[in-house]
Every structure is written in structure tokens, then in C-alpha cells.
Amino acid sequence: MRFLFLFLLDEELNATQKVLDSSGKPMPNFGSLGVSLRAELQDYDDDRRGAKTPELMNGEEESDEEDLVQTEECSKYAFNRPKWQQHWSSIEDTQLQKLVACQTWLRGWLVNKDQAQLKASLHCATIEHSTTMLQAYIRGCIARYDLWKQRKLYDESVECIWKLQTSCRGYLARKRQAVRANHYLDNVDKVIRLQQYIKKRHRNRKYQKLTSDSNPSIGTVKTFVHLLDDSELDFDSEINLEEMRQQVIERIQENSQLDAHINTLDIQIALFLRNATTMEELMKHTGVLKKKKQRILKQQALDGLPQSEPHSLTGIDKSSRQRLELYQHLVYLLQTEPKYLTRLLSALTLHQINGQHTRYPLIESSVLSIFGYATNPREEYLLVNLCKCCINEEVKKAQDIQEFLRGNHAFMKLIVQTNRGAKERNFFNKLIRPLIKTVIENKALDLETDPVSIYQKVINEEETVTGLPTSRPTQVTAQRALADEQVRDRFISHLRDVRETTEAFLTAITSTVDDIPYGIRVVARELRLTLENAFPLDSQDQITKIIGYFIYYRYLNPVIVAPEQYDVIDTVINPIQRRNLAEVSKMLQYISSGKVFDKTEHFISPLNDYVLEAGERFASWFIKVTEVESPESHFGMDTLTDRTNTRKPIVYMTPTELFHLHYVLENNLDTLEPGIKDSMIYQNEGGTPLFDLVSALGTAIFGPHQTIPNDITVRLLLDSHRDDLPSDSASWLRQAIFDTKRLVVYVIKHQAGPTLFDILKTPVTRQNEADWETFKQLEFLNPTSSCDNNKLSYSMDMMASKRRFLRLTAAEAALDLLGVTLDQLKQLAYRLVVHLERCGIISSAGGYQDIINMIAHDITGKNSRRQQRAREVGRMKSTLIHLQTKCNYLLEQGNQYEDYLNGCMTALATKTSKNNKKHKKAPILFSRQYFHIRGLQKSGVGVPQFGSYKYTAKQLHERGILLNVDYPGIKKSKYDQIAMIFSMDQAGLITVEAKYAGWNPIPNGSATTYPTISSSVSSSTTSSYASSKSSKMALRVSLRYEDLLQAQFEGTHMITLLDGAVKINLNLLIYFINKKFYS
């Protein structure tokens, strides 16, 4: 760069020299300026002895020796001219000054340039950062030094400063406090209102967070957990409800006992009438036929009651009666517990039914027969519950909403089968009949939309009119057909007719909502609610399409396509009319599904805009159809309805349906009753009632080799096999959830943590145990037991007792929480939480956040539970009233049955007695019977109203009536010494006396009552007395005739009398009584 500068300087000097020469004045040669300057400087240095030349140093105060050396080197290399020192000596002072000025300017320019470069280098990021740090460090040192000096000053005066500060602060604080206090006192009402507003807003924000957050925190729940505590009013209502439930249970049990008594009376009446009929038939015969009939009856008595066929359901014997009752209980269980039929229908849909002789169509018809084809409100309500259960089961299996739409669901088949009922037919006649008639009666209406078919019809019409073959080609495509003007005009006309006809159908359908049968609407409602809960991420349009598929395609479409099968019309539909209905049905199907015509039917695509617009109207109508009240509110039924009705539900089924249903249930118990193998399911579902009933019925008698009479219909009086308060299968699981939440609430009251899992795993400290002990005294023991209000004390005692005990299972005793430590409580709560997780109720995500969400829901739903409890109290009151009405009805019915039975027995006995007197059937002279009657007449006691007969034990033994006398000292050889008297002074009450001299007398007043025969003959009594005219002791027993018949019905063949000393054949005894008193 320096050489370049010297070169430029040389060029500049040459140019200057030329300018000076052209001026016409003599100027020095600037080219030898360097040589001359050096020579002059050398001379000057010699003269001044090393001093610097003033002229050359003017304006260069900061130049140094290095600059001079550099200048010399530059001059040497720039000019490179010999003898330059002599040249400078010849230059004048004026020129020399100009040269010095030029040098000065050049040096300044060079210095400025170097300064600019230095400044630029100093302003780079690294230099600036270092400079800033250095400056900061220096300032910090200075500031710390100043602070040190200030602190040193303060340390020397710290006590004075403290006193001054304290005085100033105290004065200012007292002043501010006085001003604030005066302000608050002047505005105390506003302050109170403001505090209330702030507290309320703070609580509302927390409560809003509790209600709005999908996963509220434990701290938020803990803030409002006190709201779960029941007040005195709540607990009084709960106690009242519990007492009413107990009364309902007791009344149900009483009614069940009355019902069982009426059934017993019914059996006794049937048995008595059968015996009376047999005796009447005997009386009709005379002579040899009568004796033959007597032998037959005696042999039947020896054989016992005739046993019915193994498949008989109408016999009077015990096995047939029990079989019928078990089938009645089974059908009632299948009606009221829809889970069994849901599992059966689900397996039926998948063709997973076990059993070699299973008939799939017979299963569907049997299910409909169980519900009586929904012909009355009760069966319709139960069928709706079955459909609801089926919907839940099918939705659980579907992965997405499209898979559910593609399924062939059982509940839709049930609805289709019930479409042929009276209500549905009335609805179809009102809605569909006018529309169908409009299509059928319009003879000119043709809704064909296939261009090729229209083209062929045009050709046929042309040939028919002209009688000549057409000139048009016969085989054409759709595009070629539409190219024909006549075909195109007719096609457009058909499209217009299709739209107008479809619009008429759509308008009529969407204008009808309330007339649609409730069963269809409520099933659509349950379908919508279930799908919305199961698939919350899917759009409402997808759910609406499924509802439209159910309501239109499965319910309305079959009536439009085949109206004659639903009695909508009586005329025969020709092919053109059928095709017109099919075109309308297709259009409505596209509208209900929200689809448009694709490429396969692109000729109908001009109707796509109409299809979309009509689809929106149809979709809104589908939603309106689902807006209906719940089945419980509509039908006014609940689980106690059957218990309060005076009439039992009746269902008619054929024996084939019953035995086939029994066969299917028996072969698929593992699927229908999973609680057999899984103890957890057994507890959750409250046992295995289906398995118990099927086991009690035994092996099903159904198969190709079984002959089952199908020409009769069995009348089933449905009744539950349980006497307690009916409850659903999930009652135990709900109780487990309630107990789990209660224990978790106790835990989070005493420990905190981010999640419930962390709290349950946190160790318990001594302070936690101490707090828990204090809490137990307040929670489980009544602190107000010594108060004067007895009612309040009783309520508090009951409330504390209810919270104190925890029953985990029905088989285990209640656990006393008062003796449980906090650590044991946490372990118990954790076990219950894990159990709920295994049952699929909750998940472990978020540290068992589901339990916290349940507790939050209970807090926010406290008022709704109070309303529900109020409704439950009202329902229980109504139930008690209906149960009392049923009790009165059963008592009246029982009295009528008893009066009828007593009247029948009295009438038959009276008739027998009158017949005997009319025909003067006196005993044989000097016979045992003769002396017996004579003795009764002389004793003043008189002959019993319906007769008295005396026999010896030997005679009864020979006839087979007396089997054995088990008494010490009495052998068969002494049977002729025992007198036995059978008498009846009151209809139906037979008195048996036995007299024997060897019996030990019983002290007076010590007559004892013994259960002498089976438990069914409970009215038999035994007493002893001494004969007044002989030394014989007499034992007497009273037997009720209906009890004997009941014992015979129960299958008893032998009874014991007289304290078990006498064994008698029951069948022959009844035959003997019939012969003597009822023939």
C-alpha cells in the first residue's frame, strides 16, 4: 500500500508540475523535490547538530523517528533518483513551504485514515464486550467502595437509625390504620356486602371448576367434600325410606304367604273335586259293576295318585304342578332380567348356539311369546327393556359407528316382528294407506327411471300402434336411449313425477310424530342416547343416519314396498304399481341415509339437490321422533309393579316352545350364566338364578324322538321365585361403588396428594392416626346423645350407626370402622378400588381419577339425589297402598276358597248322610257297629252328624289301612283287642279314637298335642282320656280331610298317628273315608 501511495504521489506531483509549467512562470522541478529536500535536510542537520528542520516539522508534533525512516525509504524507492540531496538545496523557501504544506496535508490524510481503521477495529463486538465488562467491573468496584463507606457510617449509627425507623413506621402504621378503620366504620355495610360477594365469587369459581372440569383435582373435591354429609333432614328421610322399604318387604312376604295358601286351597279343591267325581261315578254303578269299580278304586288307592307324563304341565300331581311352577318362574325371570335373553339373542345372531336339536326360528318365536307379542303395557315395557339391553350389548361389541351400522342386530328383528300388532296396523292404515291408494289409483302414473326400459316401452307402443316393425335399433345403451327425443321427454317427466310423489310421501311422514307407536320411538331414543355416549367423537349426522336406518328402512319401508302384508290395502298390486312403490321407497331410502346418486345411477343425478334438501328435513324429523319420555314414566311401572298387582301376569305358550326353550337354556348355561364359573360375576349379578331354575327343572325332554303334544296352549301365571324386595343384578356392584367412595372420602380428608394412587401409597404418620381417631369419635359416635331432644338424639344415633358399619358381602358380617386404623382403612379402600378396576367400572389412568370424578359428581348431584329420594318415598307410599289392596284381595279370595271347599265337603257329606237315612242303611243286628251306635245313643252324646264307624285294629290291618302298631306289649295277636272309631261330626274333620286296656293312663290335664303325620297335616291333634264305663284308655286324634288330600298330593304314602305309635296307609285311609263319609 505504501508503494502504491508513493506511486500515486509521484503521479500527482508530475501533474502539478505540468500545470505550473503551462502558467508561463518558472517553477522548480517537483520531480527532484525529494532529492533536494533530503540534501537540504542533511545540510541543516549538520548546521544545527542533529536538530530537526522547523519547516519540515511544522504541524507534525507527534511524528517520530520511525516516520522519518519510513519516509526516506519511500522516497528512495519512489523516486530512485541519484544526487537528490543537491537538488533540495537549490529550492527556494516559498516552494519549500508549499511542499511542507502538501506533506502536512498528506500526513493528516494518512493519520485520519489510520484513525478511522483503528476506530472501526475498536467498535467490533468482541472489543465492545470486553470494554463493557471492564467498565462494569470498574463501576462495581467504585459502587462497592461507596457502599462500604455508607455501611460503615450506618454501622456506627445503627441503634439511632433503628429507633428512628421504628418510630416512623409505627407512626405511619397507626395513622394508616386509623384512616382505614374510620373508613371501614363509615362504610361497614358496604364492607360486609363486599366480603360476602368476594367469598361467594370465590366459592362459585371453585364450584364451577368442580362442575366443569372433566377431571377435578383432589384439592377441589376436598374443598366441597363436606357437602356429602347428610343433614338431620336428609337422614330422617333416609330412615323413613328404609322403614318403608322394610314394610314393603314384609307386606310382600305376607302376600306371598297368602298366595301360597290360596294355591294350596286351589290344589285341595281340585283334589277334593276329583275324589268327589270318582265317588259320584261309583254311585252311578250298581251290582257287579259297582263292586268292580270299588276294586278298581281300591287298587288305585293302593298304587297312589296316578303319575302324569314327564312332559305334562296340566296334571294335579305334585311333580306336574312343580314343573309348571318352575316354568312360570323361569319365564318370569327371563322377562324381568333381560340380560339372559340379550346374551341368547347375541349368540343367536353369531350362530353360536349350542345344542344339536336347536331350532333358530323357534327361539325367536319363543322370545316373542315370552313377551306376549307386546300386546299389553307390561309386556311392551319389558320388551322395550330387552331392546335397550340388546342395544347396549351390541354397541359394546362395535369398534366404531360404521361397524354398528353394518351389524344384523337382534333388537331390530324383534321390532320388525312386532310390527304386525294392532297398534302398528292402525298407524299404518292412518298414515300409509292414503299414500298407497294415491299411487295405485293413478293408472297413468309410471315412475320408471331406467332410460333403456323407457326406450323399450316406446318401441312396444310404436309397434302396437303402427303394426309395423320399428326402425329404431332394439339394443341400445342408456346414453343412446336418452338421445331419442321422445324417450328423453318421457324420462324427464318420470323424474318430475318421482320427485312429486316422493315429496307427498315425505310430507305426510314428517307431519306425523305423536301418532307413531311409543315402542318404536322409545327404542329409537335409547339407540340415540347409547350411541352418543359410546361414540362421543362422531358427528350427529352419523348417529342420525343410524336412527333413520332403524325408523325408515326397518320399520316404514316394508309397509311401503309390500302394503298387502300389513293389511294396508286389500287389492292386488300389479307389477307397474309395485315398481312405482319401489321407486318411491328407493328415493326415501336415499333421503333417509343422506346419500346422493353416484355414477352407477348418474341419470338420476338431477335429483341430488332435492335429495340433500329433503334429507335435512328427514333428519330433523328423526330427532323429533326420539324426543319422548322414559318407559318408566310412560308406562308407570317399576320393579314393584308386579308385586302390587292383584292379578298375576299371564303368558300363553305351547309345550314345544317351553321345552325347546328349556333345552336351549340348558345347553348354553355357560354363555347365559357366566357367574357359574366366575365368582366375581357371581357376586356382581347377585347369584345364578337361571342356573338354579334350570337345574331344578332337570334334563330337558326335547328331541326328535320325544312326542310333545302341541295342540294345547299352556297358561302360565307368572310369579317370582323370590320373596324379598326385587332388585336388579347390579345392586351389589352399586353398593360396592358406594362403599368405595365413602372410604376414599375418609382417606382424602386426612391425607393429601396429587392423585388418589399416591395418597393410598403414602405412609401414615402418627399425626394422621391421631386425627383419624378424633374423626372416628365425631363420625361414628353420637356426640349429642345426652341432649334433651330425644328425636334428634335418635336420628343422630342412627346416622352414626349407619356410617360406622360396612358390609362388604352379604355372607360376611358387617365391619366396624370404629376399630379400624387409618392404615387399615387405606388398605381396605385400595382393595375395593382394585376390585372395581377388575370389574371394568374404573381404570387406573390418572391414579384412579375415575373415583374422584364419581365423588365430584355426587357432590354436584346432591340436590338431585334428594329429589330422587323424595320420588322414591312417594313411590313406596303408593306401593304400600297397592300392596295393602292386594293383601285385602288375597284375603278375600282365600276366604272364598275356604268357604267353597268347606261348602263342598259339607254338601257332599250331608248328601251322603241323607242318602244313608233315605235308604235306611242300618247296621246289622247285634254287630259291632250296631252296639257302637246303640252305645252312643244311650250315652247321651249322640251319633255324630255325618256318622261314626267302629272297627278293630285287626280288621283295619287286614284291609291294609293299618300298617303297624308300635307300642310296647302290643303284638299282632292283640290287634283284635284294639277298638278304632272313625267319626265325623263336622264336615271335613275326621276324629279317630283308639281304645285299649293295656295303655297307661295319662294324668288329667296333661293331654299333649303331637305332630302325628307329615308337616302338611298340621291341624291333627292327639289327646287321651279314660273311658267312663270301662277301664280302657282312649287316644283321640282329629284329622282334616283337606290336609290328608294335601299330604297325598305331596307324595306321602304313610302317616303316623297317636304319637307315632300307629302307622297308616294314607291312600287307603282316604279311600276308606271317601267310602264311609263321602259316597
- pLDDT at 588 (0 to 100): 93
Q: Which of 249, 32, 66 has the alpha carbon at shortest distance from 883?
A: 249
Classify domain 415-451+503-634 at the CATH superfamily level: GTPase Activation - p120gap; domain 1 (1.10.506.10)
- pLDDT at 62 (0 to 100): 44
The answer to whether the CB of 1013 falls within 8 A of the CB of 1058 is no
All three cell numbers of 919:
235308604
Least confident segment among 476-490, 540-554, 740-754, 858-872: 858-872
List pLDDT tens digits, range 626-654: 999 988 888 888 777 777 777 888 888 88
List pLDDT tens digits, range 103-120: 899 999 999 988 888 888
List pLDDT tens digits, range 75-89: 454 445 546 566 666
List pLDDT tens digits, range 50-83: 444 344 344 444 444 555 445 555 445 444 554 6
Tell me the domain boundaries of the chain.
2-123, 318-357+655-717, 415-451+503-634, 728-860, 922-1077
The answer to whether the CB of 40 falls within 8 A of the CB of 88 is yes
CA 575/CA 457 separation, integer angstroms? 14
List pLDDT tens digits, range 804-828: 777 776 556 778 888 889 999 999 9
CA torsion sign for 359, 360, 365, 367 is positive
CA 745/CA 756 separation, integer angstroms? 10
Is 44 buried (19+), middle (13-18) or exposed (0-12) by CB count in 10 A? Answer: middle
List pLDDT tens digits, range 392-439: 988 888 888 888 888 888 888 787 777 666 677 888 889 999 999 999
Q: What are phi and psi of 1050, to 5 degrees?
A: -75, -5
All three cell numbers of 842:
374404573
Predicted confidence (pLDDT) at residue 49 exceeds the cutoff of 80: no
What count of other Cβ atoms lies within 10 Å of the Cβ of residue 224? 18
Map 968-1002 to HEC letters.
Answer: CCCCHHHHHHCEEEEEEEECCEEEEEEEECCCCCC
Q: What is the mean pLDDT of residues 236-245?
A: 73
The answer to whether the CB of 975 falls within 8 A of the CB of 954 is yes
Where is mean pLDDT largest: 105-109, 315-319, 936-940? Answer: 105-109
What residues contact residue 749 under an 8 Å CB cut-off, 6+ apart? 222, 225, 775
Q: What is the mean pLDDT of residues 160-172?
A: 91
Predicted confidence (pLDDT) at residue 568 exceeds the cutoff of 80: yes
Predicted confidence (pLDDT) at residue 724 exceeds the cutoff of 60: no
User: 38 versus 924: which is more confidently predicted?
Assistant: 924
Exposure class string for 442-461: b at 16+ Cβ within 10 A, else e? eeebbbbbbbbebbbebbee
DSSP secondary structure letters along 232-283: HHHHHHHHHHHHHHHHHHHHHHHHHHHHHHHHHHHHHHHHHHHHHHHHHHHH
List pLDDT tens digits, range 843-852: 888 888 888 8
Q: Which of 993, 992, 964, 995 has the alpha carbon at shortest distance from 978?
A: 995
CA 581/CA 562 separation, integer angstroms? 9
Exposure class string for 290-302: b at 16+ Cβ within 10 A, else e? eeebeeebbeebe
Beta pairing, strands 979-986 & 805-806: unpaired
pLDDT interval class at 1028 (50, 70, 90): very low
Averaged pLDDT of the chain: 78
Least confident segment among 31-45, 55-69, 590-604, 689-703: 55-69
Percent of the chain with pLDDT over 90: 14
What count of other Cβ atoms lies within 10 Å of the Cβ of residue 622? 23
Predicted confidence (pLDDT) at residue 1003 exceeds the cutoff of 50: no
Predicted confidence (pLDDT) at residue 505 exceeds the cutoff of 90: yes
Instruction: Write out the H or E segment, with its range, that includes residue 1034.
Output: strand 1033-1040
Least confident segment among 8-12, 86-90, 519-523, 1075-1079: 8-12
